[in-house]
Amino acid sequence: MTLIKSISGIRGTIGGNVGDNLTPIDAVKFASAYGSWIKEQRDKEYYKVVVGRDARISGEMIQNLVMNTLVGLGIHVVDLGLSTTPTVEIAVPMEHADGGIILTASHNPKQWNALKLLNAKGEFLNGVEGAKILKLAESDAITFADVDSLGKITKNQAYIDLHIDEVLDLPLVNAKAIEAANFKVVVDGVNSTGGIAIPLLLERLGVHPVKLYCEPNGHFPHNPEPLKEHLTDLSKAVVKEHADFGIVVDPDVDRLAFIDEKGDMFGEEYTLVACADYVLSQTPGNTVSNMSSTRALRDVTQKHGGVYEASAVGEVNVVELMKKNNAIIGGEGNGGIIYPESHYGRDALVGVALFLSLLAEKKMNVSELRASYPNYYMSKKKIQLTPKLDVDTILDQMESRYQNENLTTVDGVKIDFSNSWVHLRKSNTEPIIRIYTEAPSQDEANDLADKIISEIKAIANI
C-alpha cells in the first residue's frame, strides 16, 4: 500500500487502485474533507484557499482536481501555479485566506505526490485538526455548493517574487554585504521549483548563480533528497566552476543543504547550525530543533547565551515548542530553517539569505566556516520487528535500563550521554524502531548504534 494518511495530509504514488494509491478519486476525497473542515472553522459567506505545487509530472493533474473540488464546495481558490512550500505558507496570510494546500511529496521520488494542508496562519495543521479531516474523509457528511454558490479560481503567479521581497526585507539579511562579496554559487534545483526561486533570489542579492538542473519539468535528475550520495554532480560543478559553494534544495524548497568550495558536503545538519549562529550573533535568544537533530545547535546556542530545547520529531512539534519558548530561530536537522521573523515554516529561501549574510560578514570560505563549528557525526539505523512484538514495552525496558542517564520520553526514548546521544523512535507506519545516534566520531556513532541494537534484540529475543 502506497497511500499514507497522516495528520499533516495525504501522500501516495500516482496511479493504481483507489484507496491504495493517490488516485484522482483519493485526491478529490481528501480535498473535499479539507474544504469541509475549512467551512466548519467559521460560518461566513466567502471562503478562500491558496493552492500551489512543485514541478512534479503529476502536479498539474492533481492541482486541477483539488482546486475544482474546492470550487464545488463554494470555496474560492488562489492558484499560485508552480510554487514552493514556504511561498504558499506566506501567501495564505497575505491573501487573508482560510487555508492553503501545497501539492508536493517533498523529497520523495517523482512517482509520489501529496496534499500538504495549512491553516489560516499558513502553518501546518496540528494533530486534532488533521485527525478531524481524516475522519471527514471517511464520512458522508460533505455537502457541496449549489450552482449559484460555486467558488472561482483566480491565478496569481507573483508570489515567488513577493516571497523574495519579504526575504530581502528581513532586517538581518545584509544585502549590501552580500553583493559586495561577489559570490558565485552553483544551484541544484532538482528540476523543480527551487530552480525558479533560488536563482531569482541570488540575482536579487547580487550573487552570480550557475544553474544545474533548474528546469522545472519534474524529471528529477537524481534522488531528490539532498543527501551526500545524491549530490556528486553538484560537487563536481562547484569545483569545475571555481564557485564559492553549492546550494541544493528538495523539490518543494523547504530543505536546504550546501556544498563547500572543495566540493565537500557542508552537512545538512549544519545548515540550521550556521543560520542560527548568525541570527544569535545579531539578536541573542533561544532555539529549538527536534530531538533527532545535531547537538551542535545546542552548543552554538549556549555560546551565544541562549537556551536550546528539543521537540518531538515533526515540523508541527518544532513550531509549537518554538512559540512556547519564544525561540528566535529553529528547525530540523534535515536542512529545515524556521525563522519566525519571516514565518513559522521551513524556508530554504530564508536559509540561503541568512547563510550568505553570515559568509559576507565573516569573510571566510565555506570549509573554514564548517571547521569553526563543533564536530559531531550521526548514525541512522533501524530494526525490523515482527507485528507480534510490543514496541512500547521494548522502549519502556530501554528507558528503565538507562534510568540513571539524562532521559527524554516526549517522542520515543532519547538518552543523552556526556558526549553522545541515542534516540529510539517507533515508526507510525511499519513495525520498526529507528535508532539515531550522534557522537564525536563516525566510528563512535556507529558503535553506539550497534550496542543499542544488540540490547534491543536481546530484550525482544530476535
* Secondary structure class of 17 (helix, strand, coil): coil
* Count of beta carbons in the 10 Å neighbourhood of residue 140: 6
Residue 106 annotated among the catalytic residues of the structure = yes
Q: Which helix (H) or strand (E) holds 329?
A: strand 327-332
> Residue 187 has which C-alpha cell?
544551484
Residue of 8, 32, 58, 106 with catalytic role: 106
Residue 155 burial by Cβ neighbours in a 10 Å radius (0-12, 13-18, 19+): exposed
Identity of the residue numbered 358? L
- CA 237 to chain CA mean position, Å: 25
Rg (CA), the chain: 22
Residue 328 burial by Cβ neighbours in a 10 Å radius (0-12, 13-18, 19+): buried
Backbone phi and psi for residue 220, each to the nearest 5 degrees, phi listed first: -65, 125
Nearest to 95 by CA among 77, 81, 82, 83: 77
Identity of the residue numbered 221? P
Per the CB < 8 A criterion, the answer to whether 342 and 333 are in contact is no
The rounded distance, in Å, linking the Cα atoms of 439 and 447 is 10
| Residue found by looking up cell 521573523 in the block | 341
The rounded distance, in Å, linking the Cα atoms of 248 and 195 is 10
Q: Which residues are catalytic?
A: 106
